[in-house]
Structure 1
Amino acid sequence: MSALVVGAAVAAGTLIIKPVLASGPDLLPLTVTNNSGRSEAVHLYVLGTDIRPGGKLGYVNQSGTFTAWSPGANPPVAAPDVSIAGPANGSSVTLKVPR
């Protein structure tokens, strides 16, 4: 049916087609499963660059909030521990990652 509609529109005059960009949710779920067979604690890190102008480096917490790294200081300030507790062996954890 859509082919007939396009054919009729072309026959009638100019056809303008605009692409539609698909967009997912603002927070994408990311599931991490630990199948290592080890009993040690696992820590996850989600590091990246903000897509807004300036593209600041930063990290994402488990709920999906992006936090830009604070600027350097003199004397240097220790970086915060931005690890997320990972799953135990045989378990999974779902993180939310900003689009």
Structure 2
Amino acid sequence: MSGTVTEVWVEASGGHDIVRADAIVMLRLDDTGRLTAQLRDDAKVSVPLLEGSSDTRPPDDFHRQLIRAVAELADSSGGQLVRARHEGGVWHWVSEPL
């Protein structure tokens, strides 16, 4: 065992910010499809990961899909970036090495 720790990062809405996955303590998917992450800090900062839209709403379990993707990537090597994509009418999480 090498002792290296994989860092998984999640792209925030708009792609200008990224958040370390291990800093997220809560995910909230509201009725409009907006996905928000609450970060682990004293100020309880929330970061939008996906803006809501009635015509392109992600599936009801999209926040759970993110948790699954992060858990799977935690076993990979090197840093990973996860981002939401809407392609062909389907929402999914994609990852890429940093």
Range class of TM-score, shorter chain: under 0.3
Structure whose CA Rg is larger: 1
TM-score (norm 2): 0.27
Question: With CA pairs under 8 Å and 6+ residues apart, which has the higher RCO, 1 or 2?
Answer: 1
TM-score, length-scaled by structure 1: 0.27
